[in-house]
Amino acid sequence: MNDFAYDLVVLGAGSGGLATAKRAASYGASVAIVEQGRVGGTCVIRGCVPKKLMVYAAEFAHLVNDATAYGWSFGSASHDWLRLVESRDRAVAALESTHERLLAASRVELVRGRGCLRGAHEVDVDGRVLTARYVLVATGGRPCLPPIEGAQHAMTSDGVFELRRRPDQLAIVGGGYIACEFAGIFAAMGSRVHLLMRGDLPLRGFDGDLRRELDSALRASGIDVRPRTVVREIRPSAAGVVLELDAADGRARLAADQCLLYAIGRRPNTEGLGLEQIGVELDSQGHVVCGEDAVTAVPNVFAVGDVTGRAALTPVAIQAGRLLADRIFGGKTAVMSYRNVPTAVFTDPPIGSVGLTEEEALDNYGADGIRVYKARFRPMLHSLTGRDSFTLVKLVVKGDDERVLGCHLIGKDAPEIVQGFAVAVKMGATKRDFDDTVGIHPSSAEELVTLR
């Protein structure tokens, strides 16, 4: 039998890598985790966590205005952007330190540097060779810029967290969740936002009713939404940049003073890792090809998280990694299921979704095989404020027993609401089960158990 220095070497100390390393170590495995950047990965350092803190900051802008309808009065309100940035960065640094302490407490060795596979069981970290019985690739992904002239004048989502002042005007290119979330954040904070999308509606892949509702909400918040628009060229100007556009109604020009953000997708961090050289297969986009069991073409090399291109969500990477460690070191058999994975988009208003969209259900079962229940209403909060912010709840069901295929909600507290209902969908609940459940009144969530 070969002698290895470690039972497991993990490449990447993001959410998936950290979860796998700690779970493996809990079974007594000797584990090293390799990271050349900050511990915590995209989610902790430049993604979910700092972005959600900015979402909270933006929500206060609405709360200040809404409070007046409830009898509150305030002096002149102002916002200190730099104070927000410094507070946010301290919180992120504290969370990073916590992850480092948890690694040490779990007896996982943190190896600083860039790792590269030199063989099926060998990882070279800046000249130091680590040998391992198993290797996990959990290197995540990174945002990208388009191959067009002037792209160097734009920033990606990583750059947002480096802004030391709020831009008065901001152009955002993209229609996915990152683009829409930042559009809502900056608009609420007082920036003039232009949102440029290739498609007709934001959030491709989400349920059509949610997409249309969000499109209306973005426009109602004052965002300049431009569908069917492609940037051809970016040129610097005295005030910022000028965008040459191919728009739905012909060519156009947009002056984006001070700031241009591209949020058009992410690329996997697989370059220079030596994966293909040892037989690990990559797809055309550079993602590691593996099954739902995380096994690659090299039996002892595994992959989880965004680097696989499968359900790029932090909780998915964590779950897949922990289950992998359970199988390898804990003698368990459970494999990650990618069906009915709930997700949220922290737009204004936010979205929560689990299961099949109406469009997916129609493709799978036909118009005669499904039924849709939905309701749209102004939430109780705005019965006094009068603000044009609406909630839409929707169930997609199948067959005579009306098993719930999808549960979708856009409106205040949608992510918190859908997290609970995701359990019911995962368990195979029917519309009758929803109907038999007593609602909590008054709440938006009760609408999901009273749909007719």
Average pLDDT, the chain: 96
Give yes or no for residue 1 having a pLDDT over 50: no
pLDDT in tens, 193-202: 999 999 999 9
pLDDT in tens, 189-248: 999 999 999 999 999 999 999 999 999 999 999 999 999 999 999 998 888 889 999 988
Give yes or no for residue 258 having a pLDDT over 80: no
Residues ≥6 apart with Cβ < 8 Å to 210: 203, 351, 353, 392, 394, 408, 410
Give yes or no for residue 123 having a pLDDT over 70: yes
Cα(290)–Cα(296) distance, rounded to whole angstroms? 4
Q: Tell me which fold the domain 151-264 belongs to.
A: FAD/NAD(P)-binding domain (3.50.50)
Q: Rounded mean pLDDT of 163-188? A: 96
Is residue 142 within 8 A of residue 271, CB to CB? The reply is no
What pLDDT, on the 0 to 100 scale, is given for residue 388?
87
Residue 153 falls in the annotated catalytic set: no
pLDDT band at 250 (very low <50, low <70, confident <90, very high): confident
Every domain of the chain and the residues it spans:
6-143+267-330, 151-264, 343-449
What pLDDT, on the 0 to 100 scale, is given for residue 344?
98
What pLDDT, on the 0 to 100 scale, is given for residue 255?
78
CATH of 343-449, one of 3.90.1150.50, 3.30.390.30, 3.10.105.10, 1.20.1250.20: 3.30.390.30
Give yes or no for residue 421 having a pLDDT over 60: yes
In three-state secondary structure terms, 419 is helix
User: Could you give the angle at which helices 15-26 and 81-105 cross, rounded to 10 degrees?
Assistant: 30
6-143+267-330 and 151-264: same fold?
yes
pLDDT band at 75 (very low <50, low <70, confident <90, very high): confident
What pLDDT, on the 0 to 100 scale, is given for residue 355?
98
Active-site choice (194, 287, 382, 441):
441
* Helix residue spans in 13-80 (DSSP H): 15-26, 41-46, 48-68
Tell me the one-letter amino acid at 75: G
Give yes or no for residue 256 having a pLDDT over 80: no
Q: Rounded mean pLDDT of 123-152? A: 97
What pLDDT, on the 0 to 100 scale, is given for residue 280?
98
pLDDT band at 114 (very low <50, low <70, confident <90, very high): very high
Architecture of domain 6-143+267-330: 3-Layer(bba) Sandwich (3.50)
Q: Rounded mean pLDDT of 379-386? A: 93
Q: Rounded mean pLDDT of 423-449? A: 97
What pLDDT, on the 0 to 100 scale, is given for residue 240?
83
